[in-house]
Amino acid sequence: MNWDIVEGNWMQFKGKVKEQWGKLTDDQLDNIAGKRDQLTGKIQEAYGIEKDEAEKQIKAFEDRNQDYRH
């Protein structure tokens, strides 16, 4: 998954993120604006997990959504 594409199309993509990490608010998603490092931090905060676990979850999410082309 190319995060430059995700960042450029965040409005369309954030629904998939919200499905995966439902504890993230719309305001948080708007502030993340497709930036992977910010997503990692917000996942850590919302779920009380370590950075390594958040990265692992994002990697699994990327693998499941690797065909995203919009």
Q: Give the Cα separation of 23 and 1 in Å (integer).
A: 23
Amino acid at 56: K
Could you give the C-alpha distances from 1 to 17, 44, 66, 68, in angstroms and in order?
Answer: 13, 21, 5, 7
Check residue 65 and give its pLDDT. 82
pTM recorded for the entire structure: 0.86
Q: Which of 39, 6, 45 has its CA nearest to residue 20?
A: 39
Check residue 69 and give its pLDDT. 53
Q: Give the Cα separation of 23 and 5 in Å (integer).
A: 24
Residues 24 and 47 sit within 8 Å (Cβ to Cβ) = no
Per-domain residue ranges of the chain:
3-64
Digit-coded pLDDT (tens) for 52-70: 999 999 999 988 887 765 4
CATH topology of domain 3-64: Protein Yjbj; Chain: A; (1.10.1470)
Digit-coded pLDDT (tens) for 22-55: 999 999 999 999 999 999 999 999 999 999 999 9
